[in-house]
């Protein structure tokens, strides 16, 4: 079945970077992209960006431009999201989700990765 | 910037119909989808392209989108439907989520 499995929880200091992975399986990975969405504690969903697995094209949310980088490793069918210069308000659960295009719906979602930023 | 507005909460009695709205400027001209999120779980798609149900989603979930409002309707609401629901649309090269609605099944 289609499945996205994410890496484990992380604790980081302010100013550090974090890299979250998302391994896709159960479908032809290069025919879809991966979106990243985060959810701060008790808050709603925030889209971070999308990456085309086939050619690496990206589309980032404007407010994260310059701090976020999305990459993929096609042989291992794994997508990565790196967020730099972490702040306390970056504390959130980070999700990856399959979507054909950045404008498309997200299905399915990974299990989520909690990133805690604390001094 | 584009915004999607949802009511913070909606209450419904078991067996009744729940309607959750999502409002945005000319939203009817865009595709809208809906996600259900239960506590401690990842969001799950329940409606896409305004009114299509993914496989495995019960028929009691339906959607519509016209004018400035998209609506998620749950007919014969069950206790298991109690969750947060988020609408989503695409505008100006950005994914927009509504603020979410907590469905309370009393």
Of B42, B45, B95, the CB nearest to A111: B42
Judge whether A102 is closer than 8 Å to chain B, CB to CB: yes
For residue B34, the model assigns a pLDDT of 98
Task: Could you list the beta-strand ranges (E) of chain B.
Answer: 9-12, 18-23, 33-37, 44-47, 61-66, 69-74, 83-91, 94-97, 101-105
Distance in angstroms (rounded) separating the CA atoms of residues A93 and A77? 22
A78-83 vs B18-23, strand pairing mode: unpaired
Query: B94 and A112: CB-CB below 8 Å?
Result: no
Q: What is the pLDDT of residue A5?
A: 98
At residue B32, the pLDDT reads 98
Instruction: Report the residue count for chain A.
Output: 119
* Distance of residue B40 Cα from the nearest chain A Cα, in angstroms: 10
Three-state SS letters, chain A: CCEEEECCCEEECCCCCEEEEEEEECCCHHHCEEEEEEECCCCCCEEEEEEECCCCCEEECHHHCCCEEEEEEHHHCEEEEEECCCCHHHCEEEEEEEECCCCCCCCCECCCEEEEECC
B56 CB-near residues (< 8 Å, 6+ apart)? none
- Per-residue DSSP letter, B54: P
User: What does the pLDDT read at residue B87?
Assistant: 98
Chain B residues lying within 8 Å of A108, measured CB to CB:
42, 44-45
Q: Give the residue ranges of chain A where pLDDT is below 50.
A: none
pLDDT at position A67? 97
Q: Indicate yes or no: CB of A105 within 8 angstroms of CB of B42.
A: no
pLDDT averaged over 10-residue windows placed end to end, chain B, 106 residues:
97 98 97 98 98 97 98 98 98 96 97
B12: helix, strand or coil: strand
Residues of B whose CB is below 8 A from A109: 42-44
């Amino acid at each position: 079945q289609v499945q996205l499995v994410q890496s484990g929880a992380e604790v980081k200091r302010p100013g550090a970077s974090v890299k979250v992975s998302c391994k896709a399986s159960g479908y032809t990975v290069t025919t879809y992209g991966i979106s990243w969405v985060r959810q701060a504690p008790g808050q709603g969903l925030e889209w971070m960006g999308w990456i085309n697995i086939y050619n690496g094209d990206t589309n980032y949310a404007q407010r994260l431009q310059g701090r976020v980088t999305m990459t993929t490793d096609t042989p291992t069918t794994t997508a990565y999201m790196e967020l730099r210069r972490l702040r306390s308000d970056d504390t959130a659960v980070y999700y990856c989700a399959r979507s054909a295009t950045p404008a498309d719906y997200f299905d399915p979602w990974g299990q989520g990765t909690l990133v805690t930023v604390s001094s | 910037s584009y915004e999607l507005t949802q009511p913070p909460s909606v209450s419904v009695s078991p067996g009744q119909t729940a309607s959750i709205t999502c409002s945005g400027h000319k939203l009817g001209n865009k595709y809208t989808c809906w996600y259900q999120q239960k506590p401690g779980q990842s969001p799950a798609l329940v409606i896409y392209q305004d009114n299509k149900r993914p496989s495995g989603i019960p028929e009691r979930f339906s959607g519509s989108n016209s004018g400035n409002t998209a609506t998620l309707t749950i007919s014969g609401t069950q206790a298991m439907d109690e969750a947060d629901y988020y609408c989503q649309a695409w505008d100006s090269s950005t994914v927009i989520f509504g603020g979410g609605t907590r469905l309370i099944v009393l």
